[in-house]
Amino acid sequence: MDRYILTAVLLLFCMGYSVVLSVNLIPFLPENYSKFSIYKRPLLQLASFLVGLALARWLSFQNYRVLLRKEWLYSLVGVSTLSLIAVLVKKWATGKAVERWLIGGSLQPLELVKVSLILFVSGYIAIKGSLRKNSYMIWVASIVLLQAFLVSLQPDKGGAVFLLVLALTIMYVGGIPFQVYIPFSVVSAVFVLFLLNAGYVSERINAWKDPFVDAEDTGYQILQSLYAFARGGLWGVGIGRGLQGRGSLPEADTDYALSVIGEEWGFVGVTLVTSLYALLVFRLLYLSLKVNEPFGRLILLGAGVNFALSFLWNGGMAMNLLPPKGIALPFVSYGVSNLLGSMILLGLCFSVIREYERYRTLSQLTSFKHA
């Protein structure tokens, strides 16, 4: 496993785990130390990371090219699509206005869809050579738009936009001609505009523009997040000493984990998180330029774009630079699905890197023998 990537991930998890402890355990220890409920989320997060780390290590020793078969690619995208349909069936059966989870609140299909979409688009491009034929482009675009549409029905408009941006990036780098790329981009843009016209989305955008207009309702979460950054200052107030993680800031250990880091670790902590994500993303993108095999190169690219987009979106939301949307911060935010999905994606990247390093070593030995 690549030591730079692994170091960045371990440090990010440690910082995120401090948030989970600060929000769920430390404030309740004096009076409720004997209650298992306060230990549940910290233990589940730690167990999920250890399982994910074991999965990543196991995947790193597998040959990722096994997935470069149509039956595997269609199976992955089929299972992920069915999981999205299952969420909608559950939503309609229970009569809920919003439903994004399967099996209670422990499995979010969107995280499975991200991984399967990266593999499907990358694999399809690798098999076909490119998407220069209109029929290839239409088929891939149809799968992407279908999954984005199903996610939007949950409703999760931000998740749908995330999938479109992720797929568009991989497809563009994968060799789509400009004249073919434009129609899909236009369709995607129209789809995004349609999503933005949804009632609750427009409310969020209005709250983002001026959270003080409705500080007790739609603007409340944004203002509490900004207060957390302001209170943290340069060095922060210390782990477990933050106020926003004690109920003032909703979703403090998930969507707004960076805000808690800003309060407890200060500007220094936020800078450290930013630096670690920069190391992770640039390392993945750098290696994607080195790998010659198309499938592996696009997997690394897709993973890098996924982590970069997640960080920029989550950080922008926490600092009110972007409208609020529940995009988790990989390895930092609490969440079993996001953590396991991110570790599985990393495991596939480690497999690509291992094969690349093996090929490079063999090439060097061959060159040395012929010298």
Give the model confidence (pLDDT) of 28-52 as tens digits: 676 766 677 778 899 999 999 999 9
C-alpha–C-alpha distance, residues 232 and 258, integer Å:
12
> 329 versus 216: which is more confidently predicted?
329
Tell me the whole-structure pTM to 2 decimals. 0.92
231-257 tens-digit pLDDT: 999 999 998 888 877 777 888 889 999
pLDDT in the model for residue 306: 96
Question: DSSP letter string over 84-137?
Answer: HHHHHHHHHHHT-S----BTTTTB-HHHHHHHHHHHHHHHHHHHHSSS-SHHHH
- Domain hosting 216: range is 3-370
C-alpha–C-alpha distance, residues 112 and 251, integer Å:
22
pLDDT in the model for residue 324: 81
- Region 155-177: what's the mean pLDDT? 85
Are 14 and 273 within 8 A, CB to CB? no
- Region 134-156: what's the mean pLDDT? 84
Beta bridge partners of 71: none
> 132 versus 154: which is more confidently predicted?
154
Are 368 and 20 within 8 A, CB to CB? no
pLDDT in the model for residue 4: 96
| Among 26-30, 101-105, 337-341, the range of highest mean pLDDT | 337-341
Residue with tokens 């949307």: 325
Number of domains the chain is built from:
1
Average pLDDT, the chain: 86
